[in-house]
């Protein structure tokens, strides 16, 4: 998949949030008033693989006059993959400099909200003069509620930062499956939560949904959960950034009439339950689970009735769909055993027990069946072998008990001086060449796999079987 097909929109000059002097200095939106004005924070959320990093990339490379600091929350034990997917933005680039980014690695942002995120923000604020806007990208499994609430109310942060809006990126191709997925008792469906909290929704990857009718049905699924959010249909997360940055969705003046009231209401419910914030006032508390469960039944039925097939150009995997012969015959049978695909019957379902949490956290218990594993390969990988393995496990679901949501990796491909980036969302995947390996960086391959019922040893065996040394010794 290539972002380059998309035309980057013209530069947008955003209105600064307060004061005429800010509007007249878009390159330094808060110049001269840094200490007095809190830094707006946009919280970017969305389910695994929806296009959050693509949006962050887009914001970081667009011209808008803001100097942006980024906080990334990586899901998994290995840091570095997420930030390596972000652009190496030149600090001298006109109108923009990425001054800082901080990568959080300690689990899920919504569960470490009082520690890592607050600390990260406090660290950032020591360099307050270097930026005037903050983006926080949550993991695909984060509940944005507690994060938003902490940003909005945290005494330690004081008025140094202010939550500007919650932006949720949605994968148009997969969202209804994600919404319909069963969760263990008591666990939330994160995809629903993320939509419910949104001020702005990017209904992204519209190229992977065939036909406007199918897209409208997906759109209606989102409206059924959150009628107040502004929904934009996007390709590669590109849209008018004036509708995202400095939106002011949480400004008190907009709480009563503005459509973004929904986020405030939901945060109000969170906040009051944590007892750290004033009464949310006249806001009506929404019954979020009930609102979401309406969607459950209909979206599952809709999904099972088919939500449209992908278009041929969407990805190598979509092309593969139209050439089923490619996947039949020898390679699969030959590859099964040494790619860790034998012994499938030993796969056992994981416990669906939910985590024990204080009562006020009950609204965001995670699905404990979702796991992350990081696979490693010390030797260069054979690209053809790797593709065959990915075809098998993602497309042909040769590990039927495994439910792989997301893969991303930095790969050392045999014969190439460059790193390669693997991206997979559900059954679609893509491998693109990245920059040359830095001489100081050990170029071994790392692949993060997120999903349910994963057996790390089987997956690791499959990746190891793609090492060139394995092939020559076989
Ligand atoms: N076809 C298509 N692919 C897209 C689009 N937007 C993003 N992608 C691709 O989808 C994959 C996942 O995108 P990311 O931006 O990494 O998704 P993410 O939400 O940050 O993923 P996580 O951080 O793992 O939750 C990448 O390969 C992107 O290039 C789109 O509009 N159409």
Span from the CA of 191 to the centroid of ligand 1 (angstroms) = 15
DSSP-assigned letter for residue 281: T
Q: Where in the chain is the domain with CATH 3.30.1220.10?
A: 320-473
Distance, in Å, from the CA atom of 453 to the CA atom of 356, rounded to the nearest integer, reads 20
Burial class from Cβ neighbours inside 10 Å (0-12, 13-18, 19+) for residue 20 reads exposed
423 lines ligand 1 (CB under 6 A): yes
Q: Sheet of 370-377: strands edge to edge?
A: 370-377, 445-452, 403-412, 418-425, 428-436
pLDDT for the residue 442: 63
Q: Where in the chain is the domain with CATH 3.40.50.300?
A: 3-299
76 lines ligand 1 (CB under 6 A): no
Distance, in Å, from the CA atom of 397 to the CA atom of 67, rounded to the nearest integer, reads 44
CA of residue 237 relative to chain centroid, distance = 11
CATH superfamily of 3-299: P-loop containing nucleotide triphosphate hydrolases (3.40.50.300)
Question: Which of 6, 53, 201, 429 for mutating ligand 1's site (highest number of atoms within 8 Å of CB)?
Answer: 53
CA of residue 38 relative to chain centroid, distance = 26
CATH of domain 320-473: 3.30.1220.10
Whether 253 shows a pLDDT value over 90: the answer reads no
Task: Name the 3-class secondary structure at 134.
Answer: strand
Helix 144-153 to helix 261-274 angle (10° resolution) is: 80
**Kindly report the CA angle at 316 between 311 and 319, in degrees rounded to 5?**
50
pTM of the model: 0.64
430 lines ligand 1 (CB under 6 A): yes
Query: Which ligand 1 atom is at minimum distance from the Cα of 48?
Result: 25
Q: Predicted ipTM? A: 0.99
Distance, in Å, from the CA atom of 262 to the CA atom of 245, rounded to the nearest integer, reads 18
Summarised one tens digit per residue, pLDDT across range 116-147 is 677 777 777 888 888 889 998 888 877 777 77
Q: How many CA atoms lie within 13 A of 436 on its CB side?
A: 4
Span from the CA of 23 to the centroid of ligand 1 (angstroms) = 33
Summarised one tens digit per residue, pLDDT across range 13-68 is 222 233 333 333 333 333 444 455 788 999 999 998 999 989 998 998 888 888 88
* Gyration radius of the chain over CA positions: 22
């Amino acid at each position: 998949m290539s972002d380059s097909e998309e035309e980057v929109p013209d530069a947008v000059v955003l209105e600064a949030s307060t004061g005429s002097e800010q509007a007249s200095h878009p390159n330094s939106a808060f110049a001269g008033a840094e200490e007095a004005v809190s830094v707006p924070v946009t919280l970017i959320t969305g389910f695994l693989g929806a296009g959050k990093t693509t949006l962050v990339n887009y914001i970081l490379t667009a011209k808008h006059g803001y100097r942006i600091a980024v906080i990334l929350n990586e899901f998994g034990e290995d840091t570095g993959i997420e930030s390596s997917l972000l652009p190496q933005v030149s600090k001298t680039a006109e109108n923009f400099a990425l001054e800082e980014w901080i990568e959080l690695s300690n689990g899920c942002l919504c569960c470490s909200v009082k520690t890592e995120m607050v600390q990260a923000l406090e660290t950032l604020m020591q360099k307050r003069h270097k930026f005037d806007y903050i983006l926080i990208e949550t993991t695909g499994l984060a509940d944005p509620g507690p994060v938003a609430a902490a940003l909005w109310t945290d005494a330690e942060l004081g008025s140094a930062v202010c939550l500007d809006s919650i932006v949720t990126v949605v994968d148009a191709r997969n969202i209804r499956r994600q919404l319909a997925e069963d969760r263990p008792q008591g666990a939330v469906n994160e995809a629903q939560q993320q939509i419910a909290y949104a001020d702005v929704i990017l209904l992204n990857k519209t190229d992977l949904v065939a036909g406007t009718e199918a897209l409208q049905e997906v759109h209606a699924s989102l409206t059924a959960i959150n009628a107040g959010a502004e929904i934009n249909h996007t390709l590669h997360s590109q849209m008018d950034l004036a509708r995202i940055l400095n939106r002011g969705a949480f400004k008190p003046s907009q709480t009563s009439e503005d459509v973004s009231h929904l986020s405030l209401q939901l945060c109000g419910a969170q906040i009051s339950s944590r007892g750290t914030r004033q009464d949310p006032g006249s806001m009506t508390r929404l019954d979020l689970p009930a609102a979401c469960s309406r969607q459950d039944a209909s979206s599952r039925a809709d999904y099972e009735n088919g939500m449209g097939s992908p278009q041929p150009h969407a990805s190598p995997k979509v092309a593969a769909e139209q050439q089923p012969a490619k996947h039949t015959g020898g390679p699969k049978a030959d590859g099964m055993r040494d790619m860790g695909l034998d012994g499938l019957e030993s796969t056992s379902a994981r416990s669906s027990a939910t985590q024990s949490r204080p009562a006020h956290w009950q609204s965001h218990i995670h699905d404990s069946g979702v796991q992350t594993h990081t696979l490693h390969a010390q030797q260069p990988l054979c690209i053809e072998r790797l593709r065959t393995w990915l075809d098998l496990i993602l497309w042909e679901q040769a590990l039927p008990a495994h439910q792989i949501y997301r893969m991303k990796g930095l790969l050392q491909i045999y014969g190439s001086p460059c790193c390669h980036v693997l991206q997979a969302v559900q059954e679609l995947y893509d491998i693109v060449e990245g920059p040359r390996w830095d001489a100081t960086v050990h170029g071994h391959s790392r692949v993060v796999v997120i999903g349910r019922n994963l057996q790390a040893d089987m997956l690791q065996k499959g990746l190891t079987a793609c090492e060139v040394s394995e092939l020559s010794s076989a």
